[in-house]
Structure 1
Amino acid sequence: MGADSPPSSSSTAPVAGVGAKNTVKQYHRIVVGFLLGFFVVLVLYTTLSSQFGSRTAIGVLQSLSAVRTDQATGAAPPLPSSNTPSNLAQEEDGGHKNDKPNKTEEEHIQDDAHRIGKNNQSEAKLDVNNNGQNAEKTGQPAANDASDRMEEELIRQEIDQGSNKNDTIMEPAATAPRKPICDLSDPRYDICEISGDARTMGANRTVLYVPPVGELGSDGQEWSIRDQSRKHLEFVNKVTVKSLNASQSLAAPECTSRHAVRALVFAMNGLTSNPWHDFSDVLIPLFITTRALEGEVQFLVSDLQPWFVDKYRLVLKNLSRYDIIDFNQDGGVRCYPHVTVGLRSHRDLGIDPARAPRNYTMLDFRLYIREIYRLPSAGVSIPYKEANSNAAAAAPGAPAEQLQRKPRLMLINRGRTRKFVNFPEIVGAVQKAGFEVIPIEPRRDLSVEDFARTVDSCDVLMGAHGAGLTNFFFLRTNAVMLQVVPWGHMEHPSMAFYGGPAKEMRLRDVEYSIADVESTLYDKYGKDNPVVSDPESIHKQGWQLGMRYYWIEQDIRLNVTRFAPTLQKVLQMIRE
């Protein structure tokens, strides 16, 4: 065939191959161009939307991932962090910001989530604003399978990354329901605990709680409690505690002083002035309520008693490092991060370790009191043994009878009720038994510091059932409390109020119950009167009648002969 002959079919193959390659290259250029255009538009939109407060496409995807995460866990979607651009409305409402999300924007995000969630949808299109503009309108073919698959993969990666972030950072922590401010359930005491914005107004005997904005409701709450350990004492004035509602919080009084420490509001009046009640009603409840705070609490005292503050100043200063505030006379508005109103109490002159912070016991309290008054530590023996041990060390080889110091017994005589009418005779009997006697009649003006050291120097504390025995807090471990129990079935209160606490504090308790003839009631009413012959019938008529006869009217004429074996028992315990 000549040179001018038409080309055969085989000669057209290279031309067709070149055409196919050009077609593929053109296809690739279209795909790359589409993707490049898509990302250019996406970047431009992100830049513009961040300037005008709209969410970016990636932000929508991350929000979407958070929605999916929360739907899986059942939790509400978290709010964006403070450094994330958002359209949250910030309206001033009584000085607080209202951070509610824009409802239209939330609905828009949910719509996007619904569309993008269809993995097999070939035309996944991402709306990025409330006007429904399509970010894919770039002039490239709308139905391109390769670009759709690549776009879906990118979206999937964004969702996965957003889910991981939300799982570790953005998921809101579960919050426990807030407990009521005041607890009135205990039979002995009422107590209120306020954490947050607490404001005290002593002149009005009022404590306010201003809840955070998110907790403000239409209904406020109010309590009125006696801020001492005995909730039923009518002559302890009440303190009002209020949790404000939304409208009340707007008119809440402004703080005149702010404090970083917490506060305790409690009363000093009641049955105080009697040492037993001083400890049982105030000092032990104060220990239970505040000891674990290590002094980081300020006392706001309602019905402040200056004599009480002076008498127990060392205890009060140790429990609180701050000035005591006379609550009734305080005209300002003090603001604290936490306020407790009232005192916790477990029982009369007692501590229940299961209910106490750090499982405090009565032994802990006794050792705490001894430490405050700078008495010897718990490891030091009772004075009798310590003195004889020191004497033996100072004079080795000396006869024992020359070295032995007599055990020392403090004999308390009450001034008015249940007093020993034959006190000098009792002193002689105690000395005859082998004790050194320190007779004493407690008075309010006695210095607690000096008296504590005197009690500490004794091995035995003896007295009739009554407040004077409260000084057993100053005894050393293994010292003896010798309690004379009056007539009238008084064994139970004697054990409950003194004998039981003494044993809990590692003291030895010895009780001597008098006979009917040792009571002055025998002389006054005669042996056949129910007051003498049948005390139980008196107690059944009410505690007031029993109080009248056996606590108030009765004095004691101790039969020293009958009492002598008890003294010998105590002497043997000391020498063991």
Structure 2
Amino acid sequence: MKEMEKGKHRSLLAFLVILMASCILIAPFFIYGGSSSPILPLCSHLTAEPVQSPLPAVSAKVEHQNETSAPPPPRLETSLTCDRSGFSSDVCVLRGVVHLNPSSSSVNLASDGGSVPPQLETIRPYTRKWDKRLTQSIKELKLSLNGADTKACDVIYPVPAVIFSIGGFTGNIYHAFNDALIPLFITSHKFQRRVVFIILEYQTWWLNKYKHIISELSDYPPVDFYRDNLTSCFPEVTVGLKVHGDLTINPSPDLTVQSFRRMLDDAYRHVPGPLQPAAENGKPKVVIIFRQGTRAVENEQEVVQLCESVGFQVEILRPTITMDMVEIYRVINSSDAMIGVVGAAMTHLLFQKPGDVFIQVVLLGTRWAAETSYGEPAKKMGLKYMPYTIKTEESSLSRQYPKEDPVLTDPDSVNKKGWDVAAKVYLQQQAVSIDVNRFRKTVTNAYKYIVARKRSI
């Protein structure tokens, strides 16, 4: 009998071991995938409840269900520091057991025994802090060290978090990269993808549009700060993003604008889809970006014919807010040159390969914006930048204003009246009819440069 009892115990023990192993292996699949299984009810008392996040977080209730399931978390140095010296953004870092409390729009932590004096900070984590009117549209977060009651952790994450906003102007592609994606790369690069992005002004369409970049920067899906009322805890939280300048990164041994460019290649190059057709007879390929509405090229066909007559194979691109970024990347990345009128669409220069040619049509009154926002970043990326600055008679403004008007004769004086005034005149009211005879020199120089470069490779 004793031998039979021992056999039963051994069988029961073996069954429990198999059950627990099965739970460990399959529970995450069914929890994160939203599926059900007949074995899950048996596993329910072994998993962290409630499971509210798609991330591999650990419920704080686990330690009460199984005291020996995991060692207690290590004691972390507690600190709250803020760098407010930047022109474009503030960045605060909290270290310790950092509590995110959506119900109070707060990020809190407490030191052991409360020995550290209370510290309170506020921050609106968007990268245009100098624009006070815009910044007011961004949610303000309250940060505290020993300054607020810290609720018990409902969910504990084993990796750091970065909190930032995708509100403001980020619906515009220039601002998507300049205000969010490049600063996010700068800020999160050191975490080597082991980081959770917590989003303010969460917009599903925006995250879908840039999902390949986001997933290249983090192993975890982005989280809406206000998704639920659970208190989530992290060992470190960075609030706000670091900014180095217009579409640029201050070079360091492991962080450059070229490394950002390589990240874009990694994000888009391996996405399944149709291949770009090879150039005809080995011709250099130029992509011409034509705008709709403001800053349109009034003689598109003449410009296309000019490029073809010089020897280019021409592809026309008309980007829209709904166009797939992978498609745009493939068109531009497979080309040797890009031509376009100053404006947000020139942000696509980020998809060009180092050594490619970038021809920017610089309109009347836009020289500073064109050079600062696109010309200088293009050169830092290793592109061959060839600006084409139009003459007054090529601008549609020459037909709208008298010849002696300062809009035509003294654009600097108009720009000094402020961005709102200048943008209304030079960006919203202006179109261009390119003098193709004059433009031919720039296009020909680009063609010769590309042909010579290809021969030297």
Q: Deviations over 1:67-93 (max 9, x none)?
A: xxxxxxxxxxxxxxxxxxxxxxxxxxx
Q: Deviations over 1:179-208 (max 9, x none)?
A: 752222211101110110210012332101
Taking the aligned partners of 1:417 and 1:240, their CA distance within structure 2 comes to: 41
| Gaps in structure 1 of 5+ consecutive residues | 1-176, 377-382, 389-402
Aligned residue number for residue 439 of structure 2: 563
Q: Partner letter of residue 428 of structure 2? A: I
Q: Partner letter of residue 360 of structure 2? A: Q
Alignment of 1:77-476 (within 5 A): 181-213=81-113, 215-217=115-117, 220-231=118-129, 232=131, 233-234=134-135, 235-245=137-147, 248=148, 251-354=149-252, 358-374=253-269, 404-476=281-353
Q: Partner letter of residue 225 of structure 2? A: F
Normalised by the length of structure 2, the TM-score is: 0.77
Aligned residue number for residue 572 of structure 1: 448
| Contact in 1 for aligned 2:340/2:359 (Cα 8 Å) | yes
Taking the aligned partners of 2:206 and 2:94, their CA distance within structure 1 comes to: 27
Matched, 1:550 2:426: yes
How far is 1:253 from its partner?
A: 1.2
Q: Partner letter of residue 435 of structure 2? A: N
Taking the aligned partners of 1:561 and 1:554, their CA distance within structure 2 comes to: 21
Distance 1:178 1:201, change over 3 A: closer
* Structure with the greater alpha carbon radius of gyration: 1
Helix, strand or coil at the partner of 1:553: coil
| Contact in 1 for aligned 2:216/2:266 (Cα 8 Å) | no
Taking the aligned partners of 2:243 and 2:388, their CA distance within structure 1 comes to: 30
Helix, strand or coil at the partner of 1:495: helix
Q: Deviations over 1:473-530 (max 9, x none)?
A: 2222211111000012x22221211111111111111100000011111001122111
Q: Partner letter of residue 574 of structure 1? A: I
Aligned residue number for residue 37 of structure 1: none
Kindly tell me the number of residue pairs found equivalent between the two proteins: 368
Aligned-residue CA RMSD in angstroms?
Answer: 2.1
| Contact in 1 for aligned 2:80/2:95 (Cα 8 Å) | no
Q: Deviations over 1:283-314 (max 9, x none)?
A: 00010001221111111101111111101111
Q: Partner letter of residue 423 of structure 2? A: M
Helix, strand or coil at the partner of 1:338: strand
Q: Deviations over 1:27-77 (max 9, x none)?
A: xxxxxxxxxxxxxxxxxxxxxxxxxxxxxxxxxxxxxxxxxxxxxxxxxxx
Distance 1:557 1:296, change over 3 A: same
Q: Partner letter of residue 405 of structure 2? A: N
Structure having the higher helix fraction is 1
Aligned residue number for residue 379 of structure 2: 503
Q: Deviations over 1:235-266 (max 9, x none)?
A: 22221111224xx4xx4211111111111111
Helix, strand or coil at the partner of 2:371: helix
Q: Deviations over 1:121-178 (max 9, x none)?
A: xxxxxxxxxxxxxxxxxxxxxxxxxxxxxxxxxxxxxxxxxxxxxxxxxxxxxxxx98
| Contact in 1 for aligned 2:78/2:111 (Cα 8 Å) | no
How far is 1:359 from its partner?
A: 4.3
Helix, strand or coil at the partner of 1:478: coil
| Contact in 1 for aligned 2:125/2:241 (Cα 8 Å) | yes
Aligned residue number for residue 417 of structure 2: 541
Taking the aligned partners of 2:292 and 2:254, their CA distance within structure 1 comes to: 38
Normalised by the length of structure 1, the TM-score is: 0.61
| Contact in 2 for aligned 1:203/1:327 (Cα 8 Å) | no
Query: Which of 522, 541, 563 is residue 398 of structure 2 equivalent to?
Result: 522
Taking the aligned partners of 2:102 and 2:79, their CA distance within structure 1 comes to: 25
Helix, strand or coil at the partner of 2:158: coil
Q: Partner letter of residue 269 of structure 2? A: R
| Contact in 2 for aligned 1:203/1:331 (Cα 8 Å) | yes
How far is 1:328 from its partner?
A: 2.2
How far is 1:465 from its partner?
A: 0.7
- Structure number with higher relative contact order (C-alpha < 8 Å, ≥ 6 residues apart): 2
Taking the aligned partners of 1:375 and 1:552, their CA distance within structure 2 comes to: 38
- Percent identity (aligned): 32
